[in-house]
Amino acid sequence: MTRTDRFTIGRAPDGDRLHIGTTLDGNPFFLPADLGDKKIAVLAQSKKGKTYGLGCLMEEMVRCERPFIASDPANNLWGLRVLPDGRPSGLQVVIIGGDHADIPFDKDAGEKMAEALLSTPICAVIDLAFESMGAVRKFMGDFAGRLMRTKPEIPRVIILEEAPVLIPQKCRGPQMEICKAAVSKLATIGGNFNYGVIPASQRAATIDKDVLSQCEALIVMGMTHAADRKTVRDWIEAKGIEEQVSECFKELGSLKPGEAWYWNPGEDLFQRFTFRKRNTLHPREMARLGLKSSAIHLGDMTAFVDRVKVELTKTQVSVPADPFKGKILTEKGAKKLIQDAADGVGTMLEGASEALTLERRKIEKLVLENAKLRSDLTQASNDLGRERAWRQNADQRLSAVRKMLKPQYGVLVALFAETEEVSGKHPNHGDFEIWLEKAPQKGIRVMIESLRDRGPLTFNQLCTLAGVATRTGYNCLKWLKRNHVVRKDGNLFHLQNLQ
């Protein structure tokens, strides 16, 4: 091992394995260093140690000189460049984007950035936390598409932190569908192109099920949400390992932060372990450590950044030297060259086919939406017709009722005339002519005339004589009282003496 004044780096005795934790019996727990064709999902609910554990894994990959590229929508992985006391860790990890960027983020540079990172075996973090979703989808769609058109000689591990941001179970909008198609292709068949993939998520239920089903192993931490547990149970049943992990599954709700199960049916390995202590800073712990942003020092990555900037100005990817240069091309070599070219064309056609499929799905969706709108419009038109018919029928019924009640109305008017109680002298008719002219509606005028001609009347008598409903009768009397035309004495209303 070699040691600098900042951080211990180099190959350990277990340099061919990644030491990420400790088992229950105290033994070290390892993952193989060669993850270039592996697909391992890391699942845990919030604050159970998912990002912390990913940090342990990436520290080991840097130590073993295994290049990785990590997308980070949460602004956490830059901590690999810092020790817990704020000093540089010495780990050679370039940060692209974010508030600790070595290279600024450019949403239109996805393909060129992929070419630059493939030209040099380096570890990189793409910090997406401060970018809009549109910029993230544009960059990562181009980035993943370019990776799948280049097969690097040195395998790369692609880490998708908060994977549902890029490969959600449900898509909204064409841009998201295009991005998801490119990243999902990388996550499902990337192993054939020397790419290992590690999708990580707080919510197992929201990650794309096709991607999750292709994962050959899971690192599962604390999990209590019913939908997330069902997703994990579906994965278990699909792998046919219910008997091996039934007891493990029951423990998921009680696991403490940092504790995890590793399930790998292909290797018949089902191991519980606890992630080891990180050597580098987890940004969430800055408050606990009393570390301020001003005390953070990431170290110098100038040499690599300069090389990347040169690559970003190129229009084509830098690839290893032509293996056939200066050699006689044999028949076997020619066949391989033709096959590789055919594979490249096939990949390009497959990408074009995916784009056409997406467009066709959008058109089909629009056709279905249009048909639904037409159906809704027809239904609304039918409902409106029925409503009009009902209203017309109701008006007819009301007219019939009025016609039937008209004789009774006449009888009541005559009855009031015979039984009215006259107290005192009737007011002078001429005194109220001015109010008859000022009255804003007919009901008020009829009430004035009735009180003038008949004397004091009850509220119901006034409403009946005026031919108004109860609410309208209240409003009429309110106007009369406000203008001091009437006064109430017990249950009877009298005209005021205006002399």
Q: Which domain holds residue 446?
A: 420-495
Judgement on whether residues 183 and 311 belong to the same structural domain of the protein: yes
| Cα-based angle 483, 489, 494 (whole degrees, multiple of 5) | 50
Give 79 or 420, the one with higher predicted confidence.
79
**Position 319 pLDDT exceeds 60:** no
**Position 464 pLDDT exceeds 70:** yes
Per mean pLDDT, which range of 65-79, 127-141, 441-455 is the poorest?
A: 441-455
pLDDT given at position 344: 63
**Rounded Cα distance, 100 and 143, in Å:** 21
**Position 16 pLDDT exceeds 70:** yes
pLDDT given at position 5: 34
**Rounded Cα distance, 312 and 310, in Å:** 5
**Rounded Cα distance, 488 and 471, in Å:** 18
**Position 393 pLDDT exceeds 90:** no
> At 313, phi and psi to the nearest 5?
-85, -10
Per mean pLDDT, which range of 14-28, 110-124, 343-357 is the poorest?
A: 343-357
**Rounded Cα distance, 38 and 5, in Å:** 35
pLDDT given at position 342: 66
Q: What is the CATH number of the domain that holds 191?
A: 3.40.50.300
Q: Letter for the amino acid at 39?
A: K
Residue 378 lies in a domain: no
Mean pLDDT of 54-67: 93
Residues whose CB is less than 8 angstroms from the CB of residue 245 and which lie 6 or more positions away in sequence, other chains included:
236, 261, 263, 270
Percent of the chain with pLDDT over 70: 84
Give 1 or 41, the one with higher predicted confidence.
41
Residue 143 lies in a domain: yes
Mean pLDDT of 296-301: 82
**What does the mean pLDDT of the chain come to?**
84
Residues whose CB is less than 8 angstroms from the CB of residue 126 and which lie 6 or more positions away in sequence, other chains included:
69, 70, 71, 72, 96, 97, 105, 113, 139, 140, 143
Listed residues 319, 334, 361: the one ending a domain: 319
Residue 250 lies in a domain: yes
**Position 140 pLDDT exceeds 50:** yes
Look up residue 431 and give its two tokens: 């005194």
Residue 340 lies in a domain: no
**Position 346 pLDDT exceeds 90:** no
- Residue 336 pLDDT class (50, 70, 90 cuts): low
pLDDT given at position 216: 94
Judgement on whether residues 224 and 97 belong to the same structural domain of the protein: yes
Judgement on whether residues 311 and 424 belong to the same structural domain of the protein: no
Residue 478 lies in a domain: yes
Question: Which pLDDT tens digit goes with each residue over 201-245?
Answer: 999 999 999 999 999 999 999 999 999 999 999 999 999 999 989
**Rounded Cα distance, 116 and 309, in Å:** 8
**Position 14 pLDDT exceeds 70:** no
Mean pLDDT of 320-336: 53
Judgement on whether residues 290 and 427 belong to the same structural domain of the protein: no
**Rounded Cα distance, 34 and 36, in Å:** 6
**Helix intervals (H) in 148-285:** 174-189, 209-214, 226-239, 242-251
**Position 129 pLDDT exceeds 90:** yes
Percent of the chain with pLDDT over 90: 51
Q: Which residue has the tokens 């989808």?
A: 137
pLDDT given at position 423: 43
Judgement on whether residues 293 and 425 belong to the same structural domain of the protein: no
Mean pLDDT of 1-26: 61
pLDDT given at position 493: 92
Give 153 or 334, the one with higher predicted confidence.
153
Residue 68 lies in a domain: yes
pLDDT given at position 9: 34
- Chain centroid to Cα 381, Å, comes to 36
Judgement on whether residues 82 and 217 belong to the same structural domain of the protein: yes
Question: Which pLDDT tens digit goes with each residue over 20-47?
Answer: 999 999 999 999 988 888 999 999 999 8
Mean pLDDT of 278-285: 91
Q: What is the CATH number of the domain that holds 478?
A: 1.10.10.10
Residues whose CB is less than 8 angstroms from the CB of residue 86 and which lie 6 or more positions away in sequence, other chains included:
281, 291, 295, 296, 297
pLDDT given at position 11: 40
- Residue 59 pLDDT class (50, 70, 90 cuts): very high
Per mean pLDDT, which range of 245-249, 298-302, 375-379 is the poorest?
A: 298-302
Judgement on whether residues 293 and 437 belong to the same structural domain of the protein: no
- Residue 359 pLDDT class (50, 70, 90 cuts): confident
Judgement on whether residues 425 and 315 belong to the same structural domain of the protein: no
**Rounded Cα distance, 131 and 72, in Å:** 11
Residue 362 lies in a domain: no
Judgement on whether residues 314 and 426 belong to the same structural domain of the protein: no
Side-chain half-sphere CA neighbours of 157 within 13 A: 25
Q: What is the CA radius of gyration of the chain?
A: 41
Judgement on whether residues 191 and 74 belong to the same structural domain of the protein: yes
Judgement on whether residues 294 and 434 belong to the same structural domain of the protein: no
DSSP secondary structure, 237-261, as one string: HHHT-HHHHHHHHHHGGGPPTTEEE
| Cα-based angle 321, 327, 328 (whole degrees, multiple of 5) | 140
Residue 118 lies in a domain: yes
Neighbours of 103 (CB within 10 A): 20
Query: Looking at the chain, how many residues does it have?
Result: 499
- Residue 433 pLDDT class (50, 70, 90 cuts): confident
Listed residues 319, 344, 363: the one ending a domain: 319
**Position 426 pLDDT exceeds 60:** no
Listed residues 291, 319, 347: the one ending a domain: 319
Mean pLDDT of 45-68: 93
**Position 361 pLDDT exceeds 90:** no
* Structural domains of the chain, count: 2
